[in-house]
Structures are given as structure tokens and as C-alpha cells.
Structure 1
Amino acid sequence: MIPQIYITDYLSTAAAQPVEMIQALVARCPLLLNAEWTLGALPPMKALFAQCVEEDLNQAVSPVTAILKAAQVGPALDAAFCLLPVHLGMRRDTFSLQAVVPLSAHVYAALTERLSAHFADVFVIHPDAAHRYWWITPLKPVDALCQWPQDCLYQQAFQWQPQGPDAALVRQWTNEMQMLLHQLAGASAMEDWPQTLNSLWFASVGEMPRWRQSLPTLAGQGHVLDGLKASQLPGIQPLSLAALLAHTHPRGVVWVADDWQTLEWKALSSALETGQVSALTLVLPFAERSVAVHYKKQPRWQFWRKTPSLDILLQQLETKLTATQSSV
């Protein structure tokens, strides 16, 4: 098996701007234009879990939240939900999730204080050190299933509404939060208030998945890998991408990162150019799906093959994505 690199994009940052990501990526590693780009049906996290998890991937709640919670430093949390700042695209008859919105430390602190005060009688809110989301512990049990954002990106609202006996309560909390955001945005003197922030998203904290008996060797960096380590997933090795690329036989290794920007692209480009790595698979976010980039060094006698342009590549991917969306 050739080495694989997964960009989990677990907060959907790159998925919300797929064209910009691919443009920047190809600029850093031009040889990837010679690769085969195929559109996958699953987002990167689900594609990764397909290799590692025994359960059916159509389980009610994604294990992402359980894995992220496992990586928390400090006292153990009994949180039932993860709460994320998001941008919802509003239309006349429906709306859809467009992005998870990053917050400055100042805005995050202000929201934490306001949410804690407003919902003090119904739940406890636990801040996260990375300022990207909160953990929610209801004061009374809440029976509701809420999906992880990456699994719902660009889908119409009716496909991802909370489910279960207490789903209406979660929707009520969300409506109250939208009003709070509207008030804060209108009265705020904060210059760093994100204009795209218009809602907060509940994601249920699911159970830790059952891992397969036979697993690939996992390495990498970031919050997802930290959570996998904390969940005692077997087969994880502390290996940087540079070390993986320098390995004499890096076959069978799955290297995991949260964000495409954190990859050592210079080292990867050099390894491909020198032939040190002759083949690899790179799994990237692409809208609500993923793209698998299969690179294999071309034999010298194939020098006549013309490298496609970036514009042609983007057009092909857009055509494939549009075709799959229309068939759903």
C-alpha cells in the first residue's frame, strides 16, 4: 500500500473554500497537477474512519466529538454537546450550513460570558483552549441527536435537523442563541466581530467507535490525532511528515493532519521531484465531499503526456461535484 495523507479539515475551513485551497496547494506542489484527481462521496473524516472503524459509517452520531473530547487537557468533561460558531446561508424557503466560523480570543471570551449568563439555568458551558468551540453539559438529561458540521455542509436544513425526544429543546436553544448573536452584533463595538457569524451549532458527543482489529499505521499532527492517541487507538506512531517522506519504505502509513496549511509542502514537493517518493495518495476536503489525489511518477517514456492546467482541473472537479449533487 502506498503512503496516504489525510487532511481531516474537521472544522470544514478548507471545505468552505475548496478552489482557493487547491490553487494554493498546486502552487506549493506543482507536480500534483500530474496526478489523478477523483471525487469521493465521503468527507475526509468519514473516509478516514472507513479504514479504522468497525461500525457502519451511517451511525446516528459521528465519533468526531468523542475523539476531540478525549484530547482535552484538564478535568474530564461529561459534556453532551459540542457547540460551534457557524454561518448559515439563508434562502427564501430553507437554509444550509456554509462554514464553521473562526473567532478571535476577544470575541470568543465575550460570547462565552454571554452564553454562560443567559443559559445558566439549563446548562454549563466549558470553553476550549483553541477558541473554536465549546463543550455543553446540560443540567438535566437531554435526549437529542445532532450531527457534526462536516457531515452537513451545504445540505438543506431538513436533512440535518436535531432528532430525538428533546430535539425541540435544542432548536429552542439555537433560536435563542441566534437572537443573542444578533443583539451582540448590533451593539458590539468589537472591530473583530465576524460578519459571517449568524448561528451556533449543536453536535452530539457520541460514543468512542470500535476500532478494527487490523489497522494501518497512523502518524501525523493536530487535534484529531491527539484525540486518536488519547482514545488508545493502536498503531499510532510519532512520525512527522518529513520523517515519513525520508523513510526508506513508507508503505502502509496513513499520515493525518487537521489543516492543509500545516503540511511540510516543500519537503513533499522535493520528495516527489527527486523521486524519493514515487507514489502517494492525498485525501483533501472538497465542499461536502473529498478529493483523492493519486500521484504516481510517470516513466520517462511518457514525457509526451501533457500536464493539465489548473483551470481545467478545477473545471473538471466542479463538473463532477455538480453531477453528484444533482443525482442526490
Structure 2
Amino acid sequence: MSEQHVSATGGFAYGVIGADIHVFGDGTPLYVLRRWAPAPEADSQWLRQQPSRMLHARFAVAPFTGRQDELAARHAWCADGPQRAARWLHAPGGQGKTRLAQQLATELSGQGWKVVSAVEGPGTVLPPPGSQDLTPDGAAGLLLLVDYADRWPLTTLTWLFSNALLHRPDVRARVLLLARGTDPWPALRGALASEQIDVSTQSLGPLDEPSGPAAGQGERGAMFRVARAAFAQRYAITAPADEPDLAADDFGLVLAVHMAALVAVDAAASGRRAPPDLAGLTLYLLDREHLGWVLLYERRGAGRITLPPAVMNRVVFAATLSGAQPQERGASLVDALEIGQPTP
């Protein structure tokens, strides 16, 4: 049995067993590996404060539904073929890539596979201090999940593929890379050409939904009903009976169907009418987010936020335009807004 003791004085210590840690010159990890585990049950009251939290794939509030053919194809890919393989699974945001990967991870874990997730570099929320035992001894196989792979630098991805974790001759290894596009894939595929890794790519298409008399009986309708029931349970109300028309192309996204289910429940709970189209659903949820910030601000005496909602609007808008920034650069951007609030 492998054993590792990790400690730090005045800093953070992170170690792994059965894998490598690749770091920059200052000791910052290029990426962080951790044992995959389902998210703990989210608190319903916390979720209702900002309903869009229920749409986060990590919390899996709505049970996994549909995509059975795609899930079966992932299982076949894991079970068959060469010892090492990598697949680039791509689709627009909200198409259900992360939930599909989570369901695969859940099912493979139950079949004795070791499942590990990799998160890219600086700014990563680190796992608890200590050691991560990633040794796949006795495992049926190893699945490595890489979300947002199209955001990773090519050199970091190539370092990841050189990790000892993936080079155990006695363990079947699969790397599932999730991405919104395919731009980085040809270069990575070229870098892996001499590494004896079977590479493939696959697109995750929109949800099916028949029209006419069979409307509502396809994947979208089934997914809507399951999600509506799950969200209603979080609101502690009876699920509303009405169902929207999900035949429009916009509802080919898993996220769009879940949004429709969430708004149907939230509107029923507050005595409002749910909008019929995706634009209306989006505006509805944005209004609820804004209301959430207002309530948090007005209750600031109870340890809530102290930033006025109007100021928060400006900060969020600036953050949306600028994207992720290092802390010093982010503080400079906020200072440039002249909002009269101190920045850390």
C-alpha cells in the first residue's frame, strides 16, 4: 500500500500517488489532478436563492435523462480498442457534454474503474491540502476527464498526456476531452501521433424532438418532464402540468430544455406566467438573478454582500467583456470603473 505525507508551512501543499505533478518555475501546477467524485447534495434553500444554480451541471439537480445512444457509445469506446485512447468530444455550450461525462464516470466507477479529473492551471480551485491517491492498482481501467479542453494551452495538454498515470502497461487508459470547438484538436492529434494513443473526435448533436401529433414524446419532452419534477421537489411544490412547445431549434440544447423546466416551476411558485421562447426564458432568469443580488444586498447586516446591485451590474458587465484576468489586472479593471469601492 502506498503512503504519502504532505505538509506545508505558510502555504499550500498538494501531492499525488501514482501520477506526476507538472509545475511552472514558481511551483504553480500546470494542471491539477484529483479523484473524481459526484458533487455532494446541494442545499435546496441555497439553490432557490439564485435559481440558475439549479442549472449548473456540477450539482446535477435534474437527473440524467436521454442520450442513451451516446452513453452506450462512450462505454463501448472505454471497453474496446487499444490500451490507450483519447477522444475529443465537442458541442456548443449547454449541449450536455459535462452531464454525459459525469454519467459515464458514475457508471464506470460502479464497474471498478478509477476516474480522475484534470483542471487546467493557475486560478484552479485546489483540492483539500494533502495527498490524492490516484494509483489504479486493481482497477478495471482508468478514465481521465478533461473539461474545457479547448481552453488549455497545447503544451499543457501534451504534458498531461506524458503523465505516468496514463502509462501503466497493466491498466486500460481513456482520456475524454470535452470542448466547445475543434480548433486545438488537429495540433494535439499531431503531437500524439507517435505516442501509440488511439485518437478520435465526436460531435454531440442537438436533442431530437418529433413534430405534429407526436410532439413532446421525444428526448426533449422526456427530459423536460424529469427536470420539471426535480426542480419542483426543490421548491417543495407540485410540478405544474403545462408543457411548452419544445419543437423550435433553440430547444435542441439540454440547457434550454432545463431552463424551460426551471422557469415553469419558478413561475408556478411565484404566481407568474412562464415565457414561451428561449429569449423570454433567459430574460426571466436574469431578472431572478438581479432580484437575488438585491435581496442579498438588503440583508447585508446578516453577513451578506455589501456591493450595491447597480455597481455589481457594472462589474459583471466589465468581467464579461474582459474574460478571466490575473488578480492584479482584474483589480485595475475594476478601479478603472470608478465605482468608489475598494478592491483587494
**Structure with greater strand share of residues:** 1
Is this a same-fold pair by TM over 0.5? no
> Where on the TM-score scale, by shorter chain, does this alignment land: which range?
under 0.3
**TM-score, normalization by structure 2:** 0.26
